[in-house]
Structure 1
Amino acid sequence: MRHTNSILSKMTYMITASLRNRVVGILSIFLLFFSYAIPVFAEAEHGSNLDSIKRLNSMSKAVKQKNYEIIFVNTSTDSSANPSFQYIHVNQNGKIYAQLLSLEGIVREIILKDNQVSYKQQDRASFTMNSSRIVEVFPDIVFNDFKLLSQYYDYYPVGKARIANRSAQLIRILAKDRDRNSYVLWLDDDTSIPLRIDLYNDKNILLQQFKVIKLTPLTHTQSFLNDLQQQDNYPVLVSQDKITDASDFELSYIPAGFVQQSQSHIDYRHAEISSQLYSDGVFSFSVNVSKAHKKVKTYSLQKGSQIIFTTGINNNEVTIIGDLPLETIKRIVKNIHIKKQR
């Protein structure tokens, strides 16, 4: 019996040792694999991020430098209307000429030449503003240095898709915090021009969509340039109101990456309005403070990505207009310090 127990003990020890050696061996292989795999995965993620930045910067360059015509629609989730437009863009020796034409309803035309944008409208007075681009076409996200923006956004290549009968690369631009909205872009494989741009809020709900129906690269542009030069020049819009750089309030909370673009104090029809504009290059918001002549009700309105939030602070009416999440706008309002008591 003792001999049998001794044999069983040795067999148990040998089996246990064998299993232990196999487990150790498996763990060693597992650890060895991950010691190499983790840097490889990190390098792959870093590489895809750099590739996305390169693609996005190529998009920004293409939109500004190439000659093309697009037919596109702008869709807002809170509107049943899907207006369509024709946009022609020509770069001649570094000078930009462009035309945006509404394809439905009342004819509205916007023309860019000589760094001036003219608004030709049938139902209201036509006018001209100083500007280097027609802002009603592409969202501001298109005109950025995406390497700099990577402090506040992550870029994820999503894959390939087909849109406007063209092959495109999808890239998701995801905000690193909840103070911003996010985008998904479809970039044309041949030209890098965006074929579709979806804007999502912090709850991943679609707010707005820019979608190209047809893209045509242009090789002959002289006829378009000749027609544009014959267009009437409208009066340059100049404000007659008194504007100064003074401001009656300070913000103690500003979302990371947002920089003040301007501040002004306007005497508009004997009503003083103090205003500040902020932007991170992608999104923007303005804060406007004026004297309240009666009790101000707190309310908010949203159209697409744009939110208007109004409330009362002491004897002042405060209005914020911006394409930020509502909770971020409320946080900004809570941290307004009004220096001048009215």
Structure 2
Amino acid sequence: MQRLTSWLAVLLLFVSAAASAQTQLSETEEGERWFNLMADALNELNFEASFVHVQGDRIEPYQWVHGVDENGRQFEWLSQMNGPGFRALRIDDVVSHFHPAATSYSLNSNAVSTLIPSAFNQPFVNVSKYYRAVAVGGARILDRKAQHIRLVSRDNQRYGFSIWVDRDNGMPLKVLMVNREGEVMEQLQLTNLSVRPVANEMVNELGKIERPPMLDKLQPHQPPRLDVAPNWSPAGFKLLKKQHHRLVIDGTPVDHYLYSDGLAEYSVYLTDDSEQQHQANISFTGPQTLYSQHNAQIMVTVVGQIPIEVAKQIASSVQ
């Protein structure tokens, strides 16, 4: 009898473990399913929305419009409602940036702005090697039923995300970028959303806007000039751009390297700074991590949406 009881206990333990594993699998599958529904919504829906973007003490309101015309072309418009009035227009894979106080330009991209990560309108499989998507329950956001999904870093070399997706149409209603301790680094919250069966007249007007020239025509590409470069990047981060230019603030000549994994991005700036090689390192963690150090006669500065330990490793790789 005692032996039978022991076998039953083992069997119950096995069944419980299997059920737990199945639940975890289901949560993961559901997380990926909701992410893909969000990607479909951002590519297919005709919507008008407004949202606030919060980064530290900075709160900025935006207008956001998306529509698909009868030929299947996507139009996306993003307009900053405060300040000088930055605006961006995406027509399929060309994004035009309109700057009232600077030169306007166009470039090839599938995201209208870094405020809305480029991976959001792509299948989850594109980032699945470096993130897990987990469905973790429901909530009410913008007076709508929402599904909460978490994107968790698989390697602790990047921040995580919490996304609340509209259960009816897949639209992202709220997005948080969080660090390893769960602190919110950046957030986006919709304040209004209107989904239409067909694109409204504004989309037709967007197609009539005269777009500025492509960036490579306005600014001929200058390759990096220094004989050093970053030799390490976190897994999944791809080099999007490398060039030499002068900083807008003070005209300092720099070599600039831009990396992204589709959800987050960071920049590496290299400056010939041999006269100040004994200056102390600079380290700051906030909505944007900033880390600077001297490697021999080069000042290396890393800025972006990455943990400070990762920024230090990137900077140290410049040899």
Compute the TM-score of the two structures, normalised by the length of structure 1: 0.81
Partner residue in 2 for 1:88: 65
| Map of 1:323 onto structure 2 | 305
CA separation of 1:158 and 1:286: change in aligned 2, threshold 3 A: same
Give CA deviations for 1:116-136 in whole Å, capped at 9, x if unaligned.
4334444x1451312343115
Q: Deviation digits for residues 90-145 of structure 1, max 9, x if unmatched?
A: 112331112222333444433333644334444x1451312343115413441443
Q: How much has 1:44 moved relative to structure 2?
A: 2.5
1:274 aligns to 2:255 (yes or no): yes
- CA–CA distance in 2 between the matches of 1:229 and 1:148? 30
Verify the 8 A CA contact 2:105 2:218 in the aligned structure 1.
Answer: no
Contact kept in structure 2, 1:68 and 1:215, CA below 8 Å: yes
Given the alignment, which residue of 237, 242, 246 partners 1:263? 242
SS at match of 2:50: strand
Q: Secondary structure at the match of 2:35?
A: helix
Q: Does 1:308 align with 2:290?
A: yes
Equivalent position of 2:107 in the other structure = 130
* 1:232 shift after superposition: 3.9
Kindly state the Cα deviation for residue 288 of structure 1 after the two structures are TM-superposed. Answer: 2.5
The answer to whether the 8 A contact 2:160-2:180 is kept is: yes
Larger RCO (CA within 8 A; separation ≥ 6): 2
| Partner of residue 254, structure 1 | 233
Does structure 1 retain, via aligned residues, the 8 Å contact 2:111–2:117?
A: no
Please tell me whether residue 38 in structure 1 is matched to residue 13 in structure 2.
Answer: no
Between 1:213-222 and 1:247-256, the stretch displaced more is: 247-256
Give aligned pairs, total.
311
Distance change (3 Å), C-alpha of 1:254 and 1:118: closer
Taking the aligned partners of 2:84 and 2:256, their CA distance within structure 1 comes to 33
Say whether residues 1:25 and 2:4 are aligned partners.
yes
Name 2:276's counterpart in structure 1: 295
Distance 1:288-1:45 versus aligned 2 partners, 3 A rule: same
1:202 and 1:140, CA in 2 relative to 1: closer, same or farther beyond 3 A?
Answer: farther
Distance 1:213 1:147 in 2: 30
List per-residue Cα deviations over 1:8-66 (Å, max 9, x = no partner): xxxxxxxxxxxxx34x3332211111233322322221122122112111211211221
Q: Deviations over 1:140-160 (max 9, x none)?
A: 441443234333222221111
Q: How big is the shift at 1:310?
A: 1.8
Structure 1 partner of 2:48? 69
Alignment match, 1:157: 135
Cα distance in 1 for partners of 2:275, 2:226 equals 22
SS, match of residue 257 in structure 1: coil
**Does the CA-based 8 Å contact 2:149-2:162 persist in structure 1?**
yes
Tell which structure's C-alpha radius of gyration is larger: 1
Pairwise CA RMSD of aligned residues? 2.7
* Cα shift at 1:167: 0.4
TM-score after normalising by structure 2: 0.86
Identity of aligned residues (%): 23
Map of 2:317 onto structure 1 = 335
Which residue of the partner structure matches residue 34 of structure 2?
55
Residue 160 to residue 96, structure 1, CA distance change in 2 (3 Å): same
Deviates more, 1:313-322 or 1:268-277: 268-277
- For the pair 1:104 / 2:85, whether they are aligned, the reply is no
1:152 corresponds to which letter in structure 2? Answer: Y
2:285, 2:308 within 8 Å by CA — same for their partners in 1? no
One-letter amino acid of the structure 2 residue matched with residue 53 of structure 1:
E
Range with bigger deviation, 113-122 or 309-318: 113-122
Structure 1, 283-292 or 143-152: larger mean CA deviation = 143-152
Residues 120 and 276 of structure 1: CA distance in aligned 2, closer, same or farther (over 3 Å): closer
Residue 199 of structure 2 is matched in structure 1 by 221
User: Using the alignment, how far apart are the partners of 2:308 and 2:160 within structure 1?
Assistant: 14
Residue 127 of structure 1 contacts residue 236 of structure 1 at CA under 8 Å; is this kept in 2?
Answer: no
